[in-house]
Structure 1
Amino acid sequence: MIPDHASDSISSQLTVASQVPFEDLCTTLEQIQKCKSRPQKPKYFKDFLDSWRKFHDALHENEKDVTDSFYPAMRLILPQLERERMAYGIKETMLAKLYIELLNLPKDGKDALKLLNYRAPAGSQDDAGDFARIAYFVLKPRCLKKGQLTIQQVNDLLDSIANNNAIKRKDMVKKSLLQLITQSSAFEQKWLIRMILKDMKLGVSQQTLFSIFHPDAVELYNVTTDLEKVCRQLHDPTIFLGDVSITLFSPFKPMLAAIVNIREIEKQMNNQSFYIETKLDGERMQMHKDGDVYKYFSRNGYDYSQQFGSSPCEGSLTPFVHKAFKNDIQNCILDGEMMAYDPTTQAFMQKGSKFDIKRMADDSGLQTCFCVFDVLMVNNQKLAREMLSKRYEILASVFTPIAGRLQIVLKNQANTQKEAVDALNEAIDNREEGIVIKNPLSVYKPDKRGEGWFKIKPEYVNELMDELDLLIVGGYWGKGLRGGMMSHFLCAVAETPPPGEKPSVFHSICRVGSGYSMKELYDLGLKLAKYWKPYHRRDPPPNILCGTEKPEVFIEPYNSVIVQIKAAEIVSSDMYRTDYTLRFPRIERIREDKEWHDCMTLDLIEQLRGKASGKLATRHLDVDDNEPQEKKRKTISKVKKKIGLVDHFKAPDLSSISRVSSIFEDVEFCVMTGTRSYSKNELESKIAEYGGSVVQNPGSDTYCVIAGTENIRVKNLISSDKHDVVKAEWLLQCFEAKRFVPWQPGFMIHMSPETKQHFAYEYDAYGDSYTSDTDITQLKEVFLRINDLQKEPSQDMIADIEARYSWDSSPLSIFRQCIIYLYPSDELNSSGAKIYQRKLLTETLMLRFYGAKVISQLEEGVSHVIVGDHAHLEEIKAIRRQFKRKFKILSQQWVKDSIKAGKLQKENVYLI
């Protein structure tokens, strides 16, 4: 409660914050926190607020246009909303060291160790993990009994810390902290620490506090993300906002999609049509444009205009998209996803890759692309209340898309659950994050989730994900409700042991701290509690190998348990010993049925990593019952594929002619497209007549995929490399012959790895069989292939042939995809032209021998530049900046190590 004596010193120059002791605010916060009744908690906040407003009215009774507001107090109560203004760069460990230094505590003393090891349980279990509470008991006998600071003074000192942290003035940060500490009581410092750490532990939500402050506060904050504007504009609780709307150059909380069960899609859409969009894996961003002025804001309201360009003359995006806007567009606000685009592969990079779109370097070889999926304002016309279908129409008239720079997110209109399932399966095949379903009638509601927008990811659907059995090898003490127990765990995979032996060495792969209930966490903690040992960085356990991420405690593998982990994908990371980690990992269950030595091995995780470019969703969802194909059709027996000529020296079996309906008995097909003569339905009906079964999505029991024409779905299946894709002509020949006609190269659109290997043994490079007789038609086809291959083969053509016949695993093709330029070395030149030329020729021939294309001059299209020294490094980088396709600059050691290992080595290690 604000004391009455404060009104004795009222002055027109003063603010409420400069008159209210900081201790009063701390007392209110303490009352809120200690109150056991949740409905009662807001009352303490309301009493403080009413007192503040009463004092404010008295202080500014005769003034107009007062800017004084509740903001100085509100920003301390809700510090998590002021991340940019209150970015202190201070965590518990830094505070602990500072207190030890300022209070001159013995470094190995009891109190110093309490501060440093605040997460470890000691004494009261309630204190573990609560640094502010532990610090309070250490400070209580050493600090002022009563503080001397006002709320304004605290704000000024905290602002000083934030400003000096931004310019890396650690000495000034320390100075301001010292002022706070020396002029505050231990009680006040407990709450100061919570404000600095942005972890208040009040037990009441910000929405509740906002609603007490003003009925419109939540809505205004959602569309502005500006706490100061909320406090000033809504200071008077009797004045309401007529229409809170999105405004230019003011960041707003974006509308979000809720998770939905795919079975509920039609119900959620009221059995009306809906839009399906690809869920992009980038950074949510909004672009505000007014003439030549641009602003870019993140989902949390951070300003990234400096990175992407506040004008057409600067930044990684604005200079490339400014002229794309139509001439009649003066200003607009666009909502979308900022993506990294690789112009070489003409594909978007996934966020799990090693790059940060907000800090992407010019020479990374990637370019910034803004993928727009909504428009909120055009030429001062607010559009948030327009239906989504109308906003889409307007969006199409705002700019002309530029591939790889400024694109409109493609959408398909759909009506059924099956179409949503097909779209999800296609996203899985394309290694995409998932799909977004949107209601065409929805209006834009900032910071609302699920108001007509829904997201479906493979990991949300049971049994579509590959799950990993990992061993817990390390732990981290928890904070807050998890204080005094292990809240996060370091997990590992085992080095593959010799046959018959148990693994002895384990490699860290991820840190996980979600997916379990508090009871499950408590039970797991009890099970492992007696086995934890302190982890010493200078003397780590020899059988648990870590990267830069180290645990606080470790456990011997034979005392540990296996946990089943679900994650989105496997991504590169130098924080763990495996050199990769899991994205969005969570614990599904504890594998009580498995012994510690049955955990996943390095070999198995490598196989998973290579199976789908690291994505852990590889199975399809069945449209009929929402279970994966592999789960559904276990009753159909596997049919051995009849590849090539089967029993071609024997007389044909004529018995099948009279039993036309049985030639495809127990054989499962997936017909993707029909031909001009036969539609997809007609082919499926014919298969059924001949005894076969038909599915709409291929699974592990599918014999082959039939395609009359190639569409996007067929191409996606080809890229997944899991199924044989066969021309419909083969099926028609089977119908005509009334028997199972063996496959030949001419029938194949795409071959699975198993089939490729078989064809490599049965046919030569031109598709001519080594064993079977041929006819005139087949011979003409072979000659046509010979003529095509007689043309000078490109690097890509050679690589394609190698892949087709499974020769690409040969060490002699390790550089096949590389176009290399050997940069001349000054050191070599100085030793004589002839010697230099001889050495250059040797290196060129060596690279060509191992599949590389070596060019004689540095030109567009080169993928790698190999240098012997750093003498011309700046000159090479200057040339690279002028190229459309960015090449990599590597040391000669990369070539030597790759040849020695028989496979390409990781380029990052050899970058110059």
Structure 2
Amino acid sequence: MDSDVKMHDAGMAGEESDLDEKYPNRPQNKSPTLPFHDLFQTLFRPLSEIKKKPAGPPGNRRKAGPHGQSAANLNPFEKRRDVIDRFISRWRKEVGDDIYPAFRLILPDKDRDRAMYGMKEKIIGKMLVKIMKIDKNSEDGFNLLNWKLPGQAATTSMAGDFAGRCYDVLSKRPMRTEVGDMLIEEVNEKLDRLSTASKEEQQLPILAEFYRRMNPEELMWLIRIILRQMKVGATERTFFDVWHPDAESLYSISSSLRRVCWELHDPNVRLDAEDRGVSLMQCFQPQLAQFQMQSLDRMIGRMGSTEGDPVFWIEEKLDGERMQLHMISDPSAPGGRRFRFWSRKAKDYTYLYGNGIYDEAGSLTRHLKDAFADGVDNLILDGEMITWNAEQDAPEPFGTLKTAALSEQRNPFQQGIHPLLRVFDILYLNGRDLTRYTLRDRRNALQKVIKPVHRRFEVHSYEEATTKEEVEATLRRAVAEASEGLVLKNPRSPYRLNERHDDWMKVKPEYMTEFGENLDLIVIGGYYGSGHRGGNLSSFLCGLRIDEGQSSQGSNPTKCYSFCKVGGGFTAADYANIRHHTDGKWIEWNSKKPPTTYIELAGGDAQYEKPDMWIRPENSVVVCVKAASVSVSDQFRVGLTLRFPRFKRLRMDKDWKSALSLQEFLDLKSKVEQEHQEKEFNVENFRKKRIKKTTKKPLAIAGYDESDEVQYAGPSGHIFDGLNFFILTDSNTPKKSKAELESLVKANGGKFFQTNNAAPDTICIADRRTVKAASLQKSGEVDIIRPSWILDCIKQSEVDAGLPDFLLPLEPRHMFFTTKDKEEIVAGSLDQFNDSYTRNTSIDELRTLLDQMANEKGNSSCSPEAINKVSERIQEKVDSGWTMPCGWVFKGLTFYFAENEGDAASESPEPKQAHRIHLARNTAIFASASIVSSLKDKSITHIVVGPDTTASEISKLRKTISTRQKLPHIVMVNWIEESWNEKTLLDEERKPPLAINASKLSSLMWFNLLV
């Protein structure tokens, strides 16, 4: 052990020397770091308490002030920032400017410099049992090793929270009751050793020392750091923003927490424009596609151009892993090229795909010897790594990617499965950052520099389109080919690092029309949940019945094959009903003796998707499930599975013998496929490619001329005719480079110069305090205007198209520095509520104005980054057993309340019913539904009627909507009420009735489910 420590210390010394050379100006702390317990006492615990407390009344909110301001006057967002700001300020004062040691523990999932520990909950639980010397079969031992299962006695509330379960056990037998004396730097040093320890005998002494020197609460937070599951209620964006205004930008282009802490230790020193772009061999955070909107019309409208160019691109959404490839020419490397691969989460996959042409471990790079055009010295590509089945000439499911890469390493040039990189963007070429160029320009460059390698390294194809019908036709083909969906892209857009933007938008099949149908499946297994569902079975493994003679192991009429997992759509009553009918019949799954007589899983001994508990089919219940579609999967024994399955209702009228069998399912699938082939879908017109417009100045392959002017695809006009500009800096919000701003000025009739006295009446533009800006400000004779004024003027001229050009008056928000003579004039451009007299107000500004008018001084809206963070995986989490957040229950739905039109209700509802409908409407709006006032609106998904609605009124509604291709659900108001109460989208046809059937759905729905 001593030799290992010495080797580790020697390695650390060498690494420290390399870092000093790489970061010669790195900050140095003047004092030792703070104690570890300060982290949870002054940061983690206060943030967690803010997370638990509901926001106060709007009238109590106010903007954050100095540190002395009462915390009671801050809203939760401001409270979090205040807690973080206090910690950072204390660190700078007491320790120094190097906050990297603390940030490694505060944001452990963003620390790419520390290797993964290779320790999950079960391993940590086993070690704690050994360290505390407790019997693994005792109550506490059982609870640690089976943390998802409901515990005994007081630990029941901790089910599903491993760190909390550890705290519960550790607090009974602590080595310390008071906080320990370990410093943050000491904890980091031991965690570094833990991350490099590969065996239990190396890991155990380190964890044992933590146990001796920390109290139970410290250990609880340490375990969360090791698992990289902090959940303190503040995102990394909040920490970055408090630390430095450019921190998020630098992390977006580097994915390096170290760089963020060391290069941006002074908040007054800003990043230069040239430091804001991607760079070779430095992992960046890629652009992401925006979430689906409620209608294709709205999505396509966002794709349009202010110059009247309606063309957008349609790409297939691939079922793989987002991957960036960096390549650089290196004469010293075998093959002359070096490669690096990173995933979207900044995980280095070079070991899997190869670092050179002749890398024996290169499952991909060994095929790239002739994949680049002559003259290409270096580049960065963005794409999707998928698994390709050479025998079937078709893609494989995502989960097989690593297996395929390892197989290719062992048997190169095989005809089985192997990785395939589909490239759809190029961000860097021969020393030049291309992110500011349009997607069309980047694609032109990509086509010229890549020489595709068949089924190994290809350029992802796209179609040009202008209408909704073309998207729907392409989507139907995608469904037929079991594709993930589509991505719509604006070909005139730049690349936006670490952003979700309307320039790229997802279109998934399940949202196009009424996909899904009812399948009666047998529950054969259960999985314990986490969080508030901890201690109970929150999702279920469902199977298809195997009729006599079908089983691979002989005839057994009670056997089932695993088919899918279902975790969404259950209410508390549904869970209680299932528990009631299966109580005492569940059996713990034993991996050494799986119940193959009754249940057969995929993967043989690997036992894919094995449940925590299982139940004999004859003792179980039948559930009705609906889903988006059926897809191929090697994770389930049937070989197929349901995509996005959701519980509809419990079928107590059926037993396991009348549930769907495998043969019945295959027969149904075959029938639907045959019916589909007989249907005529005239899509040939949509498949014709439109003639692509050539760019005015295409990108060259190599040898870029640095004097070339950046071509910025922006609006043009005459709003700045006769005006002279001196642009000192780029724009922060929105982000635009100095060159882009100059191009906009020129395109709209203005002239720009490189000094402020080169022309009369020059307008000075700046967004940050550079040396030149500070010099002009110090003179006190020149007004300095922010770039936002330029952008607002152009935007307003587009709105007022056809009217005489009109420059917007300057507002306080436009001023970087205002001379005394100009202050009164600038202030006079706004009314008493700070509303502009001349400029159109944005939605966000309108919200702020309304808040001010109501004497609300806080931020009443949710932060956009929080919405994006939750929305990104909310469907996946709900399917896995999470409860739907109340603000998203009706997201994506459009409601029409039938009392809006006189012919839908013969009499006005009674006051009590009117109040109930009014409350339901407000509930729907709060839970993200859209409300329309006309029944003619084609986006309606649900028509809501009151409890007193008559049959004749329903008949009129049916007649009105009968001609629509997509039939809305007619639901009663209690469907909204019960879905809200249960915090999940309940099935509209469940009993007691929540809906009124408008008509029978066509067989096309079955096709959509089963193809």
Determine whether 1:566 maps to 2:566: no
Deviation at 1:584, TM superposition (A): 4.7
Give distance in 2, aligned partners of 1:210 and 1:264. 34
- Name the residue aligned to 1:134: 165
Residue type at the aligned position of 1:533:
W
- Name the residue aligned to 2:358: 313
Determine whether 1:275 maps to 2:313: yes
- TM-score normalised to structure 2 length: 0.54
- Name the residue aligned to 1:301: 346
Q: Is the 8 A contact 1:492 1:510 kept in 2?
A: yes
Give distance in 1, aligned partners of 2:627 and 2:674. 13
Determine whether 1:209 maps to 2:209: no
Give distance in 2, aligned partners of 1:185 and 1:216. 37
Deviation at 1:87, TM superposition (A): 1.3
Deviation at 1:551, TM superposition (A): 2.5
- Name the residue aligned to 1:175: 205
Q: Is the 8 A contact 1:280 1:432 kept in 2?
A: yes
Q: Is the 8 A contact 1:16 1:52 kept in 2?
A: no
- 1:344-393, Cα deviation, whole Å (9 max, x unpaired): 55544443668634434243524443221111111121111211112112
- TM-score normalised to structure 1 length: 0.60
Where does 1:501-650 land on structure 2 (aligned, <5 Å)?
Answer: 505-510=558-563, 512=565, 514-516=567-569, 530=583, 533-537=586-590, 544-547=598-601, 548=607, 549-555=609-615, 557=617, 558-566=619-627, 569-573=630-634, 576=636, 578=637, 580=639, 582=641, 584-592=643-651, 595-597=654-656, 598-607=658-667
Residue type at the aligned position of 1:257:
A
Where does 1:484-883 land on structure 2 (aligned, <5 Å)?
Answer: 484-496=535-547, 505-510=558-563, 512=565, 514-516=567-569, 530=583, 533-537=586-590, 544-547=598-601, 548=607, 549-555=609-615, 557=617, 558-566=619-627, 569-573=630-634, 576=636, 578=637, 580=639, 582=641, 584-592=643-651, 595-597=654-656, 598-607=658-667
Deviation at 1:170, TM superposition (A): 2.5
Q: Is the 8 A contact 1:249 1:288 kept in 2?
A: yes
Residue type at the aligned position of 2:623:
I
Give 3-state SS (helix, strand or coil) of 1:201's partner: coil
Q: Is the 8 A contact 1:42 1:208 kept in 2?
A: no
Give distance in 1, aligned partners of 2:214 and 2:497. 40
Deviation at 1:334, TM superposition (A): 0.9
Where does 1:110-121 land on structure 2 (aligned, <5 Å)?
Answer: 110-121=139-150
Determine whether 1:325 maps to 2:372: yes
Deviation at 1:416, TM superposition (A): 0.8
Give distance in 2, aligned partners of 1:425 and 1:462. 10
1:397 to 440, 445, 448: 448
The 3 A distance-change label for structure 1 pair 354 and 13 is closer
Deviation at 1:144, TM superposition (A): 1.1
Q: Is the 8 A contact 2:517 2:627 kept in 1?
A: yes
Give 3-state SS (helix, strand or coil) of 2:301's partner: helix
The 3 A distance-change label for structure 1 pair 393 and 337 is same
Give distance in 2, aligned partners of 1:123 and 1:375. 58
- Name the residue aligned to 2:534: 483
- Name the residue aligned to 1:776: none
- Name the residue aligned to 1:161: 194
Give 3-state SS (helix, strand or coil) of 2:33's partner: coil
Give distance in 1, aligned partners of 2:101 and 2:499. 27
Q: Is the 8 A contact 1:467 1:567 kept in 2?
A: no
The 3 A distance-change label for structure 1 pair 432 and 90 is same
Deviation at 1:215, TM superposition (A): 2.9
Deviation at 1:245, TM superposition (A): 1.6
Where does 1:9-20 land on structure 2 (aligned, <5 Å)?
Answer: 15=29, 18-20=32-34
Give distance in 1, aligned partners of 2:671 and 2:338. 46
Give distance in 1, aligned partners of 2:514 and 2:460. 29
The 3 A distance-change label for structure 1 pair 347 and 293 is same
Could you tell me which runs of 5 or more consecutive residues in structure 2 were left unpaired when the two chains were aligned: 1-25, 56-74, 330-336, 551-555, 602-606, 686-1011
Give 3-state SS (helix, strand or coil) of 2:141's partner: helix
Give distance in 2, aligned partners of 1:95 and 1:442. 48
Deviation at 1:156, TM superposition (A): 1.3
Give distance in 1, aligned partners of 2:441 and 2:396. 31
- Name the residue aligned to 1:410: 461
Q: RMSD of the alignment, in Å?
A: 3.6
Residue type at the aligned position of 1:321:
L
Deviation at 1:343, TM superposition (A): 4.9
Give distance in 2, aligned partners of 1:317 and 1:247. 22
- 1:701-725, Cα deviation, whole Å (9 max, x unpaired): xxxxxxxxxxxxxxxxxxxxxxxxx
Where does 1:1-400 land on structure 2 (aligned, <5 Å)?
Answer: 15=29, 18-27=32-41, 28-35=43-50, 36-37=53-54, 39-40=75-76, 43=79, 46-47=82-83, 49-56=85-92, 59=95, 69-82=98-111, 85-121=114-150, 122-123=152-153, 125-140=156-171, 141-145=173-177, 146-164=179-197, 168-243=198-273, 244-260=276-292, 261-270=295-304, 272-291=310-329, 292-314=337-359, 315-343=362-390, 346-351=393-398, 356-361=403-408, 362-363=410-411, 364-365=414-415, 366-400=417-451
Give distance in 2, aligned partners of 1:13 and 1:235. 7
1:454 to 497, 502, 505: 505
Residue type at the aligned position of 2:496:
K
Could you tell me which runs of 5 or more consecutive residues in structure 1 were left unpaired when the two chains were aligned: 1-11, 61-67, 621-628, 631-667, 675-912
The 3 A distance-change label for structure 1 pair 18 and 333 is same
- 1:152-204, Cα deviation, whole Å (9 max, x unpaired): 1111111111111xxx3331112211121121111111111111222223233
**Aligned length in residues:** 600
The 3 A distance-change label for structure 1 pair 150 and 378 is same
Residue type at the aligned position of 2:170:
L
Give distance in 2, aligned partners of 1:510 and 1:79. 37
The 3 A distance-change label for structure 1 pair 324 and 234 is same
- Name the residue aligned to 1:800: none
Residue type at the aligned position of 2:621:
S
Give 3-state SS (helix, strand or coil) of 1:372's partner: strand
Q: Is the 8 A contact 1:496 1:601 kept in 2?
A: yes
Deviation at 1:517, TM superposition (A): 6.6
The 3 A distance-change label for structure 1 pair 430 and 217 is same
The 3 A distance-change label for structure 1 pair 495 and 357 is closer
Mean Cα deviation higher: 42-51 or 272-281: 42-51
- Name the residue aligned to 1:7: none
Q: Is the 8 A contact 1:84 1:302 kept in 2?
A: no
Q: Is the 8 A contact 1:17 1:151 kept in 2?
A: no
The 3 A distance-change label for structure 1 pair 609 and 239 is farther
Q: Is the 8 A contact 1:295 1:305 kept in 2?
A: yes
Give distance in 1, aligned partners of 2:585 and 2:99. 48
Q: Is the 8 A contact 2:105 2:225 kept in 1?
A: yes
Give distance in 2, aligned partners of 1:556 and 1:585. 25
Residue type at the aligned position of 1:105:
I
Deviation at 1:327, TM superposition (A): 2.1
- 1:848-889, Cα deviation, whole Å (9 max, x unpaired): xxxxxxxxxxxxxxxxxxxxxxxxxxxxxxxxxxxxxxxxxx
- Name the residue aligned to 2:946: none
Residue type at the aligned position of 2:194:
I
Give distance in 2, aligned partners of 1:516 and 1:369. 36
Deviation at 1:13, TM superposition (A): 11
The 3 A distance-change label for structure 1 pair 69 and 192 is same
Q: Is the 8 A contact 1:276 1:414 kept in 2?
A: yes
Determine whether 1:471 maps to 2:503: no
Give 3-state SS (helix, strand or coil) of 2:370's partner: helix
Give distance in 2, aligned partners of 1:143 and 1:409. 59
Residue type at the aligned position of 1:33:
S
% of aligned pairs identical? 29
Residue type at the aligned position of 2:614:
F
